[in-house]
Structure 1
């Protein structure tokens, strides 16, 4: 039986074309990196998110597993990418807005997105002073394929 709070994420399920843009670390300015994302149920308790980015990002691959802590009334996200990076994020989702946040000793990070049925427009931000100031890392857009 699927958890009712996880069921609210069902609109994310599917195939998405993904575009990374406006990244401070890509040259020349204005470069867009195409990719694809698949979101699917992993059993009844988790969502599996797999993203592949092409060319300019060096062929990056990343995965997230979205689950839930009922006792804490919170979504939990585990992240891994092909650099060997593993992270844990807190998550909120209300159908129109999606956020991922982490406040770890190395740096703070957040993803803030507006969600529509066929488009998710988001941006990743980073803070190296424990959340006092933030700078955009890059934009990440998902269009339903």
Structure 2
């Protein structure tokens, strides 16, 4: 039986094309990276998100596992990438808005996205002053394939 709260994320399931844009760390300005994302169920109570971005012959991969703590009434996200980075995020989802946030000793980070039926318009932001001010790292757009 599928977890009722995780079922609310069913609209995310599928194949997506992705575009990373407006990134402060990409030169020259206006550079974009394209890729793909697959979002699928793992059992009845987890979602797995796999994203691959292309940079010419090079590629970068990230993964998320989205789950839930029913007793805490909260979503939880585990993140990993091909650099060996592992992070944990709190997550909210509803009213057309998807957020993931973390407040860790290295820096604070958040993903904020507007979710439509066939498009997700998101951005990643970071804060080096414990969330007092935020800078955009990059935009990340998902289009249903």
What's the TM-score bracket when you normalise by the shorter of the two chains? over 0.9
Gapped regions of structure 2 (runs ≥ 5)? none
Deviating above 2 A after TM superposition, structure 1's stretches of 4 or more consecutive aligned residues are none
2:81 is equivalent to residue 81 of structure 1: yes
> Equivalent residue for 1:33?
33
> CA RMSD of the aligned region, Å?
1.1
Instruction: Report 1:44-123 matches (<5 A).
Output: 44-55=44-55, 58-123=58-123
Please state how far the C-alpha of 1:57 moved relative to its aligned partner. Answer: 10
Q: 1:58 to 1:26 in 2, by over 3 A?
A: farther
d(CA) in 2 for partners of 1:42, 1:5: 15
d(CA) in 2 for partners of 1:97, 1:64: 18
> Equivalent residue for 1:137?
137
Name the stretch that deviates more: 22-31 or 53-62: 53-62
d(CA) in 2 for partners of 1:10, 1:132: 34
Aligned positions, number: 145
> Equivalent residue for 1:42?
42
Gapped regions of structure 1 (runs ≥ 5)? none
Task: Please give the TM-score of this superposition, normalised by the length of structure 1.
Answer: 0.98
d(CA) in 2 for partners of 1:64, 1:19: 17
d(CA) in 2 for partners of 1:26, 1:95: 32
SS of residue matched to 2:59: coil
Any conservation in 2 of the 1:109–1:126 contact (CA below 8 Å)?
yes
